[in-house]
Amino acid sequence: MLTEILLDFTLIGAEWILWILLGLSLLSIAVAVERAIFYGRGSRGSTSRTIVSLLRSGDCDAALDLARESKGFLSNVMRSGLESLSKGPEAVESVLASELARTRGEYDRYLAILATIGANAPFIGLFGTCLGIIRAFADLAAAGGTGGPDVVMAGISEALVATAVGLGVAIPAVILFNFFARWQRRLVQQTTSAGQALLALLKAETPADPAGDAKADVAAQPGG
């Protein structure tokens, strides 16, 4: 009973699998275009380099003004850190880490779709292949085994098309995912470098604690 129901379902053919793969292909293209626009807005190299240069020269006010005027991965993170300068190096470090994690989450958005399509499209195509082969054998059985190769050609060709389309959808999705992942890593590295420059500047400008130095001197004296 169950076998007959499943067999009737599989005999529908693999054309609907091809429509699913076409939809996944369009979805991956839409995600890639959206992410390319979003990443492009957030990776203005000249602005990022200028902010890093200002930080290394010690001009935090100019760096903050530029970060407020621009939008992007590095600008968003550094703006939060520069606005927390009065709280001290430890607070700035925590703010930078928190803002980096939040901004990175925004750049991770929708990339899972590309990864999922790249990982599963070949299996969907393989499923279509199985349906095509089942249909080919069913056509051969309906012909009483006397139809020759012509009877099964349609089903086998349909099966091969499903396999090819599945790979054709998966390969670009994987390439796009790796492209955006590398782009994001580069932005994170640039922002981390800028954050380290800011923290180094703050720690160099932080005055030593006179009371702590006096206590250390007393402790170092004999009998102290």
Give pLDDT tens digits for 59-105. 888 888 888 887 788 888 888 888 888 888 888 888 899 989 998 88
| Cα torsion 177, 178, 179, 181: sign | positive
Instruction: Please report whether residue 181 resides in a domain.
Output: yes
Is residue 194 included in any domain, yes or no? yes
Q: What is the mean pLDDT of residues 160-189?
A: 92
Q: What is the pLDDT of residue 119?
A: 94
Whole-number percent of the chain with pLDDT over 70: 77
Lowest model confidence (mean pLDDT) among 11-25, 34-48, 118-132, 208-222: 208-222
Sorting pLDDT into bands at 50, 70 and 90, what band is 166?
Answer: very high
pTM of the model as a whole? 0.76
* pLDDT > 90 in the chain, percent: 23
pLDDT average, residue stretch 132-158: 69
Q: Which residue would you say has higher pLDDT here, 176 or 136?
A: 176
Residue 9 lies in a domain: no
pLDDT at residue number 65? 85
Confidence of residue 43 (pLDDT cuts 50, 70, 90): low
Q: Is 209 inside any structural domain?
A: no
Q: Is the pLDDT of residue 193 over 70?
A: yes
Q: Is residue 185 part of a domain?
A: yes
Q: How many domains does the chain have?
A: 1
CB 183 within 8 A of CB 39: yes
C-alpha radius of gyration, the chain, whole number: 30
Q: Which of the given ranges, 114-118, 138-142, 186-190, has the highest pLDDT on average?
A: 114-118
Scored b (16 or more CB within 10 A) or e, 183-194 reads bbeebbebbeeb
Segment 41-49 mean pLDDT: 69
Per-residue pLDDT, 42:
66
Residue with tokens 């790796």: 178
Q: Which domain holds residue 191?
A: 14-204
Specify if 99 maps to a domain.
yes
Say what the pLDDT of residue 115 is: 95
Predicted local distance difference test score (pLDDT) of residue 46: 66
Rounded Cα gap, residues 198 and 84, in angstroms? 11
In a domain, 26, yes or no: yes
Q: Is residue 64, in this structure, part of any structural domain at all?
A: yes
